[in-house]
Amino acid sequence: MLDHLVALRDKKPGDSDPDPGDPSPDDNPLVRYFRSAGDHPVRTAFQVLGGLSILTAVIALPILGAVGFTAAGPAAGSAAAAWQASIGLVEAGSFFAWCQSAAMGGAAVQGIIATGVAGAGVAGGATFAEKVKRLFRRE
């Protein structure tokens, strides 16, 4: 630690020799990813799209529960109950019906799961394709 402080003290403006004890920015995985993103924008776009799909699938049901959709129907006094009261007669196939179906474990849950799986496939496929491309690249 003391050697590092001495090196910092003795460093003159304009010195470009990095201290061997200093971590390089290239050691940070996040920095490496963002540098790679600029070189591979399509792969990065697919990874982000896949990640957002996964995130949406993971948080959808907890959010529905938080706003009042339950397995027994909208919770009394919740935002879901207020929404249902403002609609009146709920039509089959409407967004409200879809939310309630998901909360009750109906067919909408399968759509949420499929979205997450598809997102994982898109993100994983983009990453795999880049690895295969790098493996067979001729230099």
Domain that holds residue 76: 40-139
44-85 pLDDT per residue, tens: 888 889 999 999 999 999 999 999 999 999 999 999 999 999
- Number of structural domains (the chain) is 1
Beta bridge partners of 74: 69
Question: Is residue 132's pLDDT more than 90?
Answer: no
The answer to whether residue 7 sits within a structural domain is: no
The answer to whether residue 84 sits within a structural domain is: yes
Q: Which residue is listed with tokens 């001495």? A: 6
Do residues 50 and 121 make contact, with C-beta atoms less than 8 angstroms apart? Answer: yes
SS3 73: strand
For residue 107, the model assigns a pLDDT of 84
The answer to whether residue 127 sits within a structural domain is: yes
Question: 7 vs 106, which has greater pLDDT?
Answer: 106
Whole-angstrom distance between the N-terminal and C-terminal Cα of the chain?
43
